[in-house]
Structure 1
């Protein structure tokens, strides 16, 4: 049985920038499992169509950040393993925070029991302009 999870990208004031559904095979998962599944799904969707911009959790290598997402210098497939590594590293270095049902996840090994209404929010830190 698959468990469906709602994933949201939010700003600190609570504005939802992006929302997606993620299917996981187990009822008990870790924060690391959630990050890996999300990143792999984003990369697979991008690699099917190879659009001009990649809109994912973390910036792929050889891209520039734009208002429309990450623009690849040349359209090519993105390596999901590299993206997972970048995403896990970003979590460990406070590049973004994760809230599971509005409770902050503290570590990659933290366990999450999925229910039909589990929501995971990714909060990216945006650098202050001129700060």
Structure 2
């Protein structure tokens, strides 16, 4: 069983631990990993809507996902999960007018 630790980070370097998740699988698609995090954090009855918003934000480059030190660029890409996997959600802030 893998233990995934979620970390939220900004481009300014601010890091906040965002909880953890026990995962039975050794491999998961990034899409499923995001779904499970959203289900863990969303208010009851809002998980599907919040998941759709997260997928949309990922598609618009609103955030990057790093598993360990490797960027995962495709929602359907399978990621390896070990006993102490860190998954970082790096929020990107667009330049003014950009």
Tell me the TM-score normalised to structure 1 length.
0.66
2:33 corresponds to: 34
Query: 1:1-131 maps to which residues of 2 (within 5 A)?
Result: 2-43=1-42, 47=43, 77=44, 79-128=46-95
Query: Relative contact order (alpha carbons < 8 A, sep ≥ 6): 1 or 2 greater?
Result: 2
Q: Is the 8 A contact 1:27 1:114 kept in 2?
A: yes
Taking a change above 3 Å as real, the CA distance of residues 130 and 118 of structure 1, as seen in their structure-2 partners, is same
Q: How far apart are 1:128 and its partner, in Å? A: 4.3
Instruction: Determine the C-alpha separation between the residues in 2 that align with 1:130 and 1:94.
Output: 16
CA contact (8 A) 1:5 1:117 kept: yes
User: Between Structure 1 and Structure 2, which shows a larger proportion of strand residues?
Assistant: 2
TM-score, with normalisation over the residues of structure 2? Answer: 0.86
Largest Rg, 1 or 2: 1
Once the two structures are TM-superposed, the CA of residue 19 in structure 1 deviates from its matched residue by 2.6
Structure 1 consecutive aligned stretches of length 4 or more whose deviation exceeds 3 Å: 127-131
Unaligned runs of 5+ in 2: none
Q: Deviations 1:9-34 (Å, cap 9, x if unpaired)?
A: 01124321333101223111011011
